[in-house]
Structure 1
Amino acid sequence: MLGILYSFRRCPYAMRARLALAYCVEPEQFELREVVLKDKPQAMLDISPKATVPVLQLTDDRVLEESLDIMQFALSKTPDLSQTLYPNHLQDDINELIEFNDGPFKWALDRYKYADRYEESEAFYREQGEAFLTQLNARLEHSSFLMGGEVTLADLAIFPFVRQFAHVNKTWFEASPYTHLQTWLVDWLDSPSFIRIMKKYTQWAVENEPVYFP
């Protein structure tokens, strides 16, 4: 076993960490501890006071508290596959796309989801997010994945956030002009990898039998 993963099923950051681990790591290498955000376990808080998921506690006592660090750790376990998921000649492009996702797009997404908490309208924040949707849709016009014909770290890292954006108003998204992005999203939602990482688990407690992942 390689360690313990604290996760929350619906968190997009936790989703992308689980996706990378599922892609890159042999089965059942981690104990998966499902967290309820309103009732975070003390065992997680003791190793990660910032109290956000995902958190990966490795058997060598390292603690990875950021989803992208966990994804990079996953890549390190499969050097051959890492050249497909994170090829040298695409790394700058992948990093730039993920940075925009985690910055301006996530800013718009949070406000789009909870527009009643902010000054502007839902439509305003949706429009801010559409700048990224437009870019992604253009990338997918002539290829199945964001960087071309193969899955890369960009797809794994960005898909959970596009999923969340689409779910705010599914009727609007399905009627939007982002047809290539819609197809890409449906393909990911139907993929065995996503179905595998979205299995439901009960809240972890010390007395529970261990659950192993992936």
Structure 2
Amino acid sequence: MTQPQPQPQTLPVPLPVLYTFRRCPYAIRARLALHQAGVPVQAREIELRAKPAAMLQASPKGTVPVLVLPGGQVLEQSLDIMRWALGQADPDVWLSAAPIEQQLAWVERNDGPFKRLLDRYKYPQRQDPPDQPAAMFEAALALQLRPMEQALQAQAFLCGPRCGLADMALLPFVRQFAAVDPLAFAAAPLPAVHAWLLRLLATPLFEAVMAKQPVWREAEELS
């Protein structure tokens, strides 16, 4: 009688580890791309006031997001995480929705001068003397939101008829800007930006990446 052959055991494949913080716009954009690409990760929600040692060991810069790949490679910048994830799978062709140089131009302006204005608008008391929020609001409109309005008046998304990397990379920052003074943002003559923002915030993708998660504790991992 032939004895059944033992079946080879399949070892679990370790998942990438994502250190994240729910409300951080940089972490939101990383989660959007990872979820869109269908890349499973072990998400570790952190407390900014009590950053875990494991995260700081992987990335001494101490900010989120941080993606630690199973082979040990560490991606410390949100845009790098987005492009890596979409390099694994890009079902709605975010990367090629428009020439990448055109898309990255929006991201560079967002991550540079617009983010600085956003911080000064959201936290005017951090400046000495304190900033005038109305002035920061108007400067942000002139720099980024009016150019966005002009682009979106002509097409559905920032770089054309398809949603792309630029849209999803800017979305969390425009959302944060709008939340500082919702009445002022709603009153601004930006109908196309308002429609773009509401449309993207209402997607199942955005709702999925904003689901609340318990804070990860290193002690729980070791127990």
State TM-score, norm by structure 1.
0.91
Calculate percent identity across the aligned residue pairs.
44
Gaps of 5+ in 2: 1-13
Helix, strand or coil: the match of 1:6?
A: strand
1:3 aligns with 2:3: no
| Alignment partner, residue 199 of structure 2 | 187
1:126 aligns with 2:137: yes
| Alignment partner, residue 143 of structure 1 | 155
1:68 aligns with 2:75: no
CA apart distance, 1:88: 8.2
Structure-2 change in CA distance of 1:136 and 1:89 (3 Å): closer
1:174 aligns with 2:186: yes
Structure-2 change in CA distance of 1:151 and 1:208 (3 Å): farther
| Alignment partner, residue 115 of structure 1 | 124
Distance 2:167 2:220 in 1: 34
Q: 1:23 aligns with which of 5, 24, 36?
A: 36
One-letter code aligned to 2:158: L
Distance 2:166 2:97 in 1: 13
- Kept in 1, the 8 Å contact 2:97–2:160? The answer is no
| Alignment partner, residue 106 of structure 1 | 115
Moved over 4 A (4+): none
CA apart distance, 1:115: 1.1
CA apart distance, 1:89: 5.5
Gaps of 5+ in 1: 210-214
| Alignment partner, residue 209 of structure 2 | 197
Helix, strand or coil: the match of 2:68?
A: strand
CA apart distance, 1:206: 2.8
One-letter code aligned to 2:140: G
Distance 1:44 1:89 in 2: 35
Distance 1:176 1:89 in 2: 28
CA apart distance, 1:190: 1.0
| Alignment partner, residue 218 of structure 2 | 206
Distance 2:98 2:197 in 1: 25
Q: 1:155 aligns with which of 146, 150, 167?
A: 167
| Alignment partner, residue 9 of structure 2 | none
Report how many aligned residue pairs link the two structures.
205
Higher gyration radius (CA): 2
Helix, strand or coil: the match of 2:157?
A: coil
Distance 2:180 2:97 in 1: 35
CA apart distance, 1:22: 0.9
State TM-score, norm by structure 2.
0.88
One-letter code aligned to 2:80: D
Helix, strand or coil: the match of 1:141?
A: helix
